[in-house]
Amino acid sequence: MAEASSLRTPGVAAVPRVSLRAPVIAARTLQTASRSLRVVKVAVVPSPGGPAGAGDGHANPRGEPLSNGMLVNGHSNGHSNGRVASSAAAATTTPAAAAGAAATALTHTLTAAAVAAAGEELAALVDPLGLGRIENNIAPYPGASSPGAGSGSGSGSGSPSLAVQIREIASTLRHINTLRVEYMEKIQQQDMELAAKDQALRSKDERIRALEHESDELRRSLALLHNAKATAEAEVQRLQRAAAAAAAALPASVAAPAAAPAPAPAPVAAPAPAAAPAPAATPAPVAAPAPVAAPPAPAPQPVVTAAPAPPPPPPPPPPPPPRAPEVVLSYRSGWSEAYLQCNPDGKGWTSPPGLRMEHTGNKEFVIRLPAKSVEFVVTNGKGEWDSPTTNGGGGGGNKNYRVEGPGEYRLHYGNLSLSKAWAP
């Protein structure tokens, strides 16, 4: 900015004069797309020893007055095309006009510099390295070394305007939002797949627990069977010992009554004719022994009478009546009750729910039927049936189970089998 001073000359009224000394230039390089601007500030100070324009050997060697501020325009080719006002124009320029012109030029220069600096700072904020967001397919902004779009030469501005930059930022934000939505959809899909897998794993765990529970039930049943077997074996051994003891005591009791009747035949065997030759002896001494023989004679009389006394041997016991053919059915089930609805020997079906089967423990049911053949099904009395059509085995494709002969049969888990044949 120009500075005015009053110079006093002897005999001359004080006239404000403007003089330019060696100019003090403060320059700041502003780089836009392809252009360098330098703001030149000229400090005007009063010259103490000469007229206006004197003493300026650098900026104005001819003493021509210059304007208070100049804008030196330097293109990308590195040359300056600054111009100096003509002498005539400078001569007619007043100090106030020069100051106004300098202020106007300085205002325009500062405005252009501020706009350029704002563009550079915004570009640096959007893309500090100038490489662009390549990963999001965003083209980098043109740098200072490339000419701007629409400029025919290197002097055109390459930086986009603020509106263009805002549109680019909005486009980038839309692209980021699109990627976020896609990622959220993928995450939701993965969550659904994980939920399905988790449900499948839970189903498998429940199935495994059910199988483990069933295996525990089978182990308990097997333990009960082992205990029953051990008890039965102990009972059989006890009965065998009792039978052996009874057999050992039986011969002694039988031998004692057999020895008692042995003396009875002795008197009977002594025949009376054996004494007949004794009277053949005529001597008297024969008669002497007769009294001796007489006393024993009465003794045989009771013995002879006792011989016919023993009762006749008892008749042999009658043979046992023949066994009636029967069917013994053993059934295994987890039901609390079991009924047999049957048609024995084709005489007709029993009324529902049927004949109650005896529960012998450990899920076993037994029933005896006096018949040679039976057609049957099993029910629990509550609407549940066990037949070849519901169980899928043992029936040979029939609707009912069928037994064609007497004996002991087992029906376990749909398999009907003969465990013991019938013996008359």
| Degrees, nearest 5: CA angle 260-261-263 | 90
Predicted local confidence at residue 175, as pLDDT: 97
Helix (H, G, I), strand (E, B) or coil at 45: coil
Q: Give the integer Cα–Cα distance in Å for 17 and 8.
A: 10
Q: What is the pLDDT of residues 145-154, one digit of tens each?
A: 444 444 444 4
pLDDT at 411 over 80: yes
| Positive or negative: CA dihedral 181, 185, 190, 196 | positive
pLDDT value, residue 334: 84
Question: Count of CB atoms within 10 A of residue 407's CB?
Answer: 18
d(CA 248, CA 266): 32
> What are phi and psi for residue 398, nearest 5 degrees?
-85, 170
* The most confident of 27-36, 46-55, 113-122, 219-228, by mean pLDDT: 219-228
Average pLDDT rounded to a whole number, residues 68-87:
42
- Give the model's pLDDT for residue 316: 79
Decide if pLDDT at 228 tops 90.
Answer: yes
81 has pLDDT over 70: no
In 3D, which of 56, 117, 123, 113 has the Cα closest to residue 90?
56
pLDDT score of 29 more than 50: no
Angle between helices 95-126 and 162-259 (to 10 degrees): 20
C-alpha torsion sign, points 139, 141, 146, 152: positive
Percentage with pLDDT > 70 across the chain: 50
Q: Which helix (H) or strand (E) holds 8?
A: strand 5-9
Cα distance from N-terminal residue to C-terminal residue, the chain: 146
pLDDT recorded at residue 1: 40
Classify strands 401-403 and 374-379 as parallel, antiparallel or unpaired.
antiparallel
Residue 357, SS3 per DSSP: coil
Report H helices in 260-295: 265-269, 289-293
State the DSSP code for 312: P
CA 306 to CA 303: how far, in whole Å? Answer: 5
Closest CA to 365 of 406, 337, 395: 337
DSSP character at residue 325:
P
pLDDT at residue number 119: 66
Find out whether 19 and 47 touch, Cβ atoms under 8 Å.
yes
**What DSSP character marks residue 342?**
E
- Quick one: which of 24, 30, 82, 34 has its CA closest to 56? 24
pLDDT in tens, 175-186: 999 999 999 999
